[in-house]
Amino acid sequence: MPQKDDLVSEFVSLTQCESKTAKDFLRRNQWKLEYALNDYYDQMPGGFIEEPHTPVTYPEELLALYDKYVLEDQNKIDIDGMIQLIEDLDYKLEDLVTICLAKLLHCTRLADGISKDQFLHNWYMQGCSTLPQMRHVLDDLDTKLHTDLEYMTDIYNYTFDLALDQNKRDLDTDTAAEYWRLFFQPGTAVHVNPALLNSWLAFLDSEQKTVVTRDTWKMLLEFFKQFPSLSAVKTSYNEADAWPYIIDEYYEYLEDSRLI
């Protein structure tokens, strides 16, 4: 039987989709390529069509929803429209699943908003044209976010670019801290002791770290996966391991503060 990576590569080669999409379809079809391809094309606008640019007729209900949230003078759904959509889906802006919603709609940055094509095409691909259908999809993603470590990691890494200000390479520490409190709250797929997270935030504040790099953002999650509590850091952390320098600084801070 072909290796999973080979199946993903072949799926991507045949469909030109993203590897994440390929994995999703293969996984839900027990890694059977033929079934996964059929599933994928069944959800493509028009199914097995030879003319990929054939116009799609979107459901009237879906078009009406776009018109409800669109910022007319810019022909996109801005942050206020997204907030209204989130509320209509019975979620709150601070709910972590709202980031899953942004990724589902292929939103690159919050400030960019959601185009008409993004909204219509991506909901159409999910088989959704009404708010109850959309809510069902988000409910499933919320469950997945709290139970599937691989999916949670994907959403976490996606968030860095989503939250970046325009023309910036690093996240403001205050912004990063807000998202960390969401991702590492009790009940998510990564179980982090609150004292560990609080000590990390206190370290950043005491050292006046004003920005968070992409590498720091990504590696902190890996650090917390491996060391979910202060006691785990104390007993298992090895300064010789290949962690970013800021993690070594954090470890020294914990020692100096007698937290470990």
CA 252 to CA 131: how far, in whole Å? Answer: 50
Query: What tokens appear for 117 in the block?
Result: 């094509």
pLDDT in tens, the chain (260 residues): 468 888 888 888 777 788 888 888 888 777 878 777 777 776 665 444 344 445 678 999 999 999 999 987 778 999 999 999 999 999 999 999 999 999 999 998 888 889 999 999 999 988 899 999 999 999 999 999 999 999 999 999 999 999 998 889 999 999 999 999 999 998 889 999 999 999 999 999 999 999 999 999 999 999 999 999 999 999 999 988 989 999 999 999 999 999 99
Helical spans, DSSP H, in 78-237: 79-88, 97-104, 116-125, 131-147, 149-163, 173-183, 194-206, 214-226, 230-236
**75 exposure class (CB count in 10 Å sphere: 0-12, 13-18, 19+):** exposed
Residue corresponding to tokens 């470890």: 251
pTM: 0.77
Structural domains of the chain, with CATH = 4-43 (1.10.8.10), 60-147 (1.10.238.10), 168-256 (1.10.238.200)
Give the number of other Cβ atoms within 10 Å of residue 114's Cβ: 26
